[in-house]
Amino acid sequence: MRKTIRRICSLVGSLILMFCMCFSLVGCGDKEKKYDVSIKIRNSEGSTWIFTPDVDELKYEFEYTGEEMRFWIDSWNLPDHPRWSNEWFEPNTSGANVFHKSMLYTAPGEKRQVWRGPVKERGEYIILCEADSTSDLWYFRAVYLYVTIK
């Protein structure tokens, strides 16, 4: 009887040990792979700029019209992803996989300042878009769209 109890305890102990070893190795694999992200910016005039992984800056000039223009991050893409390389996705507004946009404005003959309004007046605008570093899909990225209103 004692021999049987020892064998059962030994077997149960061995199973528990193997179970723990198997599950301790589950987390040892490669971390989720991240990709370079492409960012598409649009404006209210219908223009589009695509920042592929090899493009960090683009410049564009508009003639002054007195009309307001708005700029936003339209969509994003992971060109090297095995399944989603041809798909463009709308940006999330919350969570880990988000983008941030900020703008700077320099009026002719003045100092650069943070800009929160629409693009309208003559001068130079810098539109900075960042792919957040908290993402589990992409690497951090910052792109710059330089807009000049002549």
pLDDT averaged over consecutive 10-residue blocks of the chain (150 residues)? Answer: 56 46 42 90 97 98 96 97 94 91 96 95 97 95 98
Q: What is the pLDDT of residue 31?
A: 56
Contact 77, 85 (CB under 8 A): yes
Q: What is the pLDDT of residue 30?
A: 45
- Go through the chain and tell me how many residues it has: 150
Q: What is the pLDDT of residue 95?
A: 87
Instruction: Determine which helix (DSSP H) or strand (DSSP E) holds 83, and give its type and residue range.
Output: none
Q: What is the pLDDT of residue 27?
A: 42
